[in-house]
Amino acid sequence: MASLIGSIFSGSTGESADKIIAYNSTYGAAATAQAYFSAALTATTPEVRAFLAGYCSQSLTGHEGIMNYMIQKKWVNPYDQPENQLSTVVQESLSSFKAH
């Protein structure tokens, strides 16, 4: 497993690899929460709806934890202008793409 991770992040330093993993994790957690939320909305029974809503809450909590870590590391500035936030995400995407 270490060789697989090493080959994926071979061009990245420790911090930039952490940043890439954090960004990917936030995207994954957001997508998971959205999928569970959609499923909960379309569920017909209260039991299934509650079950799916619980998983949605867990995904949101995970996303919040990762995002707080990214804010603490100053990789993300939630109070920055939307245009600057978008520019930062695009730059991070391009730099992680070039690292591979």
pLDDT tens for the chain, 100 residues: list them. Answer: 555 555 555 555 667 888 888 888 988 999 999 999 999 999 999 999 999 999 999 999 999 999 999 999 998 898 999 999 888 878 877 776 665 5
Per DSSP, 12 falls in state S
82: number of Cβ within 10 Å: 7
Q: Is residue 6 part of a domain?
A: no
Tally the domains of the chain. 1
Q: Is residue 4 part of a domain?
A: no
Angle at 69 between CA 39 and CA 25, to 5 degrees: 40
- Whether 3 is in a domain gets the answer no
Model pTM greater than 0.75? Answer: no
**Domain-embedded: residue 84:** yes
Establish how many alpha carbons lie within 13 A of residue 87's alpha carbon, considering only the half-sphere containing its beta carbon. Answer: 5
In a domain, 95, yes or no: yes
**Cβ contact 28:66 at 8 Å:** no
Which range marks the domain in which residue 19 is found?
Answer: 13-99
**Contact by Cβ (8 Å): 63, 33:** yes
User: Is 93 a member of any domain?
Assistant: yes
